[in-house]
Chains A and B, each alone.
Chain A
Amino acid sequence: MPLRAENVEVGDELPARTVTVTRQGLVRYAGASEDFNPVHWNPRVAREAGLPDVIAHGMLTMAIAARTVTDWAGDPAAVVEYRTRFSRPVVVPDDPAGASVEVGGRVVARLDDGLVRLDLVVTSGGTKVLSDARVTVRLAS
């Protein structure tokens, strides 16, 4: 059942999640999104661009973070606005462990009409990779 606005309080924490991103996962996302930018799969090109290694698609990180919200709200259509800055790249080493992306979130405001504002905290290896990651959801009220 989708979450209802009356069951939400400012300060509520969304269930934290940790997601592993591997090179294989990047290839899969490249195929599904048709984003074949080589900085996401070719270490030589990534280094030419001044990056330490291959990096995850920012849009993959943003999608991983979105699931924290849609799982919590119970309906993807609850999301009415979603924004972020990609402050640091998620560097994905060529090993089975890959990179770890940690997602947390918190309710920061309840507005009229079932609208709820959330702030997300998204890190990889302790570094914030998304900044000003904000979501507005509309919940049944």
Chain B
Amino acid sequence: MALNPSCVGKSYPLSRPYPVEPETIRRFAEAVGDPAAVYTDQQAAQALGHPSVPAPPTFPFVVVARALDEVFSYDEIGFDPTYLVHGDQCFEYARSVRVGDRLVTAVSITGAKNLRGKDVLTLRADVADTSGEHVVTLRLTFVSLTAVKGGVGDAASR
């Protein structure tokens, strides 16, 4: 598979709304090992001035990953996700994601290049509530690791 540089600049249609529910946030906070009451208790959230329970800061990546699954085709970009790892990640928040949000994500490709033999894909994702309020912008890089010889991702073994 070879990267198709003409994809750089491409924007994808908005994702379907991602409804943020209390259980989604509780489960995520538990999985990242954060027992703070603000992630499960409406009163604790309100005491800090939140209208509803907020999500931990890295939760928006889950929303964006869901949007990528929906709108994205790695084939079209020529990026092999068989052995995908994260290169870097940036979040710029307008506010916290919170219970009751219905989040839509606009994804665009900001870069696609081969660095030291590895394909590197750079994306931007703008997450907004269905009311149009901007919530958070993510910038991220995915790296496609090359399979070791004989692995399922090793083209020579196919």
Contact = CB atoms under 8 A, between A and B. Distances in A.
Interface of A: 2, 19, 25, 28-29, 31-35, 37, 39, 45, 47-51, 55, 57-60, 62-64, 66-67, 69-71, 74-77, 79-86, 89
A32 B30 CA distance: 9
A32 B88 contact: no
A29 B65 CA distance: 14
A37 B86 CA distance: 11
Give chain B's interface residue range (CB within 8 Å of chain A).
Answer: 35 or more
Contact of B57 (A47, A60, A76, A86): A76
Contacts of B95: 77
A55 B83 CA distance: 12
10 contacts: A28-B31, A34-B65, A48-B148, A57-B86, A58-B86, A59-B58, A60-B32, A67-B56, A76-B55, A85-B87
B90 A82 contact: yes
Nearest to A75: B48
B96 interface: yes
Interface string B86-124: 111111110110000000000000000000000000000
Top 6 closest pairs, chain A to chain B, by CB: A48-B151, A32-B31, A49-B83, A58-B86, A63-B32, A83-B90
Contacts of B93: 79-82
Contacts, number: 138
B145 interface: yes
Interface of B: 27-28, 30-34, 36, 38-39, 48-50, 54-58, 61-62, 65-66, 82-93, 95-96, 145-148, 150-154
Given A32-B28, A77-B96, 15 more contacts: A28-B30, A29-B31, A32-B27, A35-B62, A48-B152, A49-B82, A49-B83, A49-B151, A50-B148, A51-B145, A59-B86, A63-B58, A64-B32, A76-B55, A82-B91
A70 B90 contact: no
A67 B56 CA distance: 8
Contact of A86 (B86, B152, B154): B86
Contacts of B39: 76
Indicate the member of A37, A45, A58, A77 with the most B CB atoms within 10 Å: A77
